[in-house]
Amino acid sequence: MATTRKTTNNQTTNKTDYLSYPQFNVEVIVSQEAKKSPHLIKFLLASKEEGKTLLETYPWFSAKASETVTAARTWYIGMGKSEDLDSLRLGEVLLKALRQAATNFEEIGVELPNAVFSQFGAKSVANLISTAIAGAVYPLDLMKTKPSQNEVKLKKVNIQVSRTYQDKFSTALEAYKKEVQPVLGMRQLQVLPGNIAYAETVERRARDIAKEFGLKITVMGQAELEKLGAGGILAVNQGSAREPRMIVLEYSPAGAKKTLGLIGKGVTFDTGGISIKPSSGMHEMKSDMSGSAAVLHAIAGIAAQKTKVRVIAAVGMVENMPDGKAQKPGDVYPSLKGHTVEVQNTDAEGRLVLADLLTYVEREHSPDLIVDIATLTGASVVALGHHYAGLFALNDESARYLEKASQNSHEPLWRLPVDRVYREMLKSEIADYNNIGERWGGASSAAAFLSAFLDHPEKWAHVDIAGIGILSKDLGVYPSQGSGFGVRLFCELARVLEA
Ligand code: BES
Ligand code: ZN
Ligand code: ZN
């Protein structure tokens, strides 16, 4: 890889290399001949009978989850018992095995038990296997001089599918293959550090996507945001040496009946600002732009699949830094909606950015459903761990759209409350709102804050991915670090709205 390295400033490396959109170069096909592939990865469920031998040649093999026998031409991979096999376990087994296979073989066959197709449905298996292959071939140590990417050999995957499921599986696989590159693109941006992925460089990715799919793109910088009156975005970015950006992509296919607004938090680094975070673990806040990466890449996936829904993807790219010019605790700013906000904690910055974006997209595009996604609160991680994204909605129908999309995509959501009591926590003595609520219930008071910046909060849902967006170890089909959560969810959401 040709990189330019200078040590005289903080922009030390050739950013374009690290930021070039990852290409997915694995051919994935359904084949009746899969069993004849040079190497076969054969997945097996554990027997219901205790102690029954599954493989005569390897009598000790009991097919516990991810238990592996690497015979010469065939790898046998256990999936555990069928009653324990949920989509999280299935994803985990697939990812582990495929990751190992990816560095060993150029071409593999994959054989799954028919019972897995009947349990999950052909569509879900296609979803999970395509995502697992993508995760397996795209390690995230992009900036090493010898990235482990170089060790990935896998070029072709032949999947064995019985006749019963073949048509459904093939159709689904073709669709899901279009989500693979966006998922990788999102994961790449999530892990790239703040000195490489920042407002202006993320803009480049947005422009690439706009160009590839013929989307309309609007980009606003400091001057335009001042003219617009996006007080929240500007307040957060005030301490940064870099310019902020608001980026809006529009996909308007012929025949679309509904409009979906997707809003993403793009804090390219969150120090906490003057309410500065403790230093241990602070580096993880390079991924505080995960929401923005999700919506920019989701619109790419939706456009690639030609789903008949109009989609507006809007992101606010900022950096939350302490500085002589930074906002201070207690400062009051006017939001785009016109509400005045007292910033009692500068670390509760994501909501200031999202609030302006919600107001803007509602005002300009009147979406039928408007969904924001953000690494918004540590409190949501306390509530849900890394296993679920928090879902918040005032209206049950809006929540149901997301829950349906979650079921179809296997991206897990769990609904948490966002009613009047949380909004009432946001009182300020001197302004319309305080940007923080009480000590407890922080995920819900953050959500309640957002709801105050919409004329139609009933059309809104909020997804908090502070936990599931940023991982310290693999989780199901998600590889550790940048999980890519959100792209598949929103691609399904668009399909739910299309119907
Ligand atoms: N970006 C953080 C939330 C976060 C925490 C994301 C952990 C990923 C992992 C957010 O801006 C933040 O700092 N929120 C504060 C809000 C508080 C000051 C009300 C938090 O959660 O502590
Ligand atoms: Zn913060
Ligand atoms: Zn943040």
- Name the residue of 191, 276, 376, 470 to mutate for ligand 1: max ligand atoms within 8 A of Cβ: 376
Q: Choose among 365, 157, 125: nearest CA to 259.
A: 365
pLDDT of the residue at 7: 37
Instruction: Give Cβ neighbours of residue 489 (< 8 Å, ≥ 6 apart).
Output: 298, 402, 405, 406, 409, 411, 413, 463
Do 408 and 495 touch, CB atoms closer than 8 A? yes
User: Of 57-61, 120-124, 379-383, where does mean pLDDT reach its minimum?
Assistant: 57-61
The answer, yes or no, to whether any atom of ligand 1 lies below 6 A from the CB of 266, is: no
pLDDT of the residue at 109: 98
* Sheet with 433-434, side-by-side order of all strands: 331-334, 340-343, 433-434
Å from CA of 470 to ligand 1 middle: 13
Å from CA of 242 to ligand 3 middle: 17
Residue 91 exposure: Cα atoms within 13 Å on the Cβ side: 21
Instruction: Give Cβ neighbours of residue 407 (< 8 Å, ≥ 6 apart).
Output: none
Token representation of residue 88: 């999280």
Q: Which of 89, 153, 277, 404 is catalytic?
A: 277
The answer to whether residue 123 is catalytic is no
What three-state secondary structure class fits 307? Answer: coil
The answer, yes or no, to whether any atom of ligand 1 lies below 6 A from the CB of 375, is: yes
DSSP string for residues in 64-89 = -TT-EEE-SSEEEEE---GGG--HHH
Residues in the chain: 499
Do 78 and 67 touch, CB atoms closer than 8 A? yes
The answer, yes or no, to whether any atom of ligand 1 lies below 6 A from the CB of 288, is: yes
Rounded to whole angstroms, how far apart are CA atoms 283 and 439? 24
Instruction: Give Cβ neighbours of residue 318 (< 8 Å, ≥ 6 apart).
Output: 199, 233, 236, 237, 240, 244, 266, 267, 268, 349, 353
Do 479 and 131 touch, CB atoms closer than 8 A? no
- Burial class of residue 150 (count of CB atoms within 10 Å of its CB; 0-12, 13-18, 19+): exposed
The residue whose CA has the least distance to atom 9 of ligand 1 is 466
Indicate which atom in ligand 1 lies nearest the CA of residue 285: 1
What does the pLDDT look like over 96-107, one tens digit per residue? Answer: 999 999 999 999
Q: What percent of the chain has pLDDT over 90?
A: 93
Token representation of residue 359: 């107001």
Q: How far apart, in Å, are the Cα atoms of 263 and each of 232, 294, 435, 462?
A: 15, 9, 19, 9
Using left for φ > 0, alpha for ψ between -120 and 50, and beta otherwise, residue 88 falls in alpha
pLDDT of the residue at 15: 53
User: How high is the mean pLDDT of the chain?
Assistant: 95
Q: Are strands 259-270 and 68-70 parallel, antiparallel or unpaired?
A: unpaired
pLDDT band at 17; cut points 50, 70, 90:
confident
The answer, yes or no, to whether any atom of ligand 1 lies below 6 A from the CB of 389, is: no
pTM above threshold 0.75 = yes
Residues 118/120/121/123 CA torsion (nearest 10 deg): -150
- Give me the amino acid identity at 71: A
Using left for φ > 0, alpha for ψ between -120 and 50, and beta otherwise, residue 8 falls in alpha
Q: What percent of the chain has pLDDT over 70?
A: 97
262 φ, ψ (degrees, to nearest 5): -120, 125
Å from CA of 60 to ligand 1 middle: 48
Does residue 50 or residue 359 have the better pLDDT?
359
Å from CA of 285 to ligand 3 middle: 7
The answer, yes or no, to whether any atom of ligand 1 lies below 6 A from the CB of 79, is: no
Rounded to whole angstroms, how far apart are CA atoms 96 and 67? 10
On the question of pLDDT at 5 being above 70, the answer is no
Dihedral sign for Cα atoms in the order 283, 288, 289, 291: positive
On the question of pLDDT at 14 being above 80, the answer is no
Ligand nearest to the CA of 268: 3
Do 487 and 298 touch, CB atoms closer than 8 A? yes
Instruction: Over range 169-194, report the average pLDDT.
Output: 98
Q: What is the DSSP letter of 458?
A: G
Token representation of residue 494: 């668009």
The answer to whether residue 204 is catalytic is no
Ligand nearest to the CA of 322: 2
On the question of pLDDT at 13 being above 60, the answer is no
